[in-house]
A = this chain, B = another copy of it.
């Protein structure tokens, strides 16, 4: 399958797709995860394949919130691990957050596979018995009671809208990373980051390091305006469309 010519105008995008496809063969990424990635590709194209200024604002706010949290957790699924394991390790180190694996298409085998991908990149993964802490049908509600169950702040990159909504309903501050500003995930999030995950996580990590070096006392904001970040992303897309046929 590695016969994509370097001359192809979408070479980088096709190679990332191929890497995810290889992770799908081993089971790290679910088949449905490949399709979800495609949705992300489309929206990344529309926001210009770079971090919009408004997304960087959201990333800086996310860093502040992770550092001000009592118990921050990074909830990682197959796609995020396949795309961004080194960036997760970097963010964990910069923020001190716990990392828990949480899969939409959950099997014990896939949990182990994703955990191994993360550990190979230097991530410290918390493990232990899970319970249905999140009020959702099926295995979607499973998580560690002392992990995501007990978190006040959860960063959930590439998360399902249902789960995002349920976590918000539990009173948690939910930070999402998702390229689609119209997705329920982004609409439900406390802080929706509309950016590509390998760009977003290092930006959050860099701001964590900057804030820590500055040594200020960080206070958790009392309210958040998620819609501001959505509107900014939609403006970025409208700008791309405006010049699409130039």
Give residues in A with beta carbon < 8 Å to B.
1, 3, 5, 7-10, 14, 17-18, 20-21, 24-25, 30-32, 34-43, 45-46, 105, 137-139, 161-162, 180-182, 184, 227, 230-231, 234, 237-238, 240-241, 244-245
Judging by beta carbons under 8 Å apart, are B45 and A182 in contact? yes
| B contact residues around A238 at 8 Å (CB) | 238, 241
Residues of B within 8 A of A180 (CB): 42
A35 touches B41 (CB 8 A): yes
CB-CB < 8 A to A231: which residues of B? 245
Instruction: Select which of B9, B17, B46 is within 8 A of A162 by beta carbon.
Output: B9
A166 to chain B, nearest CB (A): 12
Asked whether, in the complex, the Cβ of A25 is within 8 Å of the Cβ of B18, the reply is no
Cross-chain contact of A234 among B45, B137, B244 (Cβ < 8 A): B244
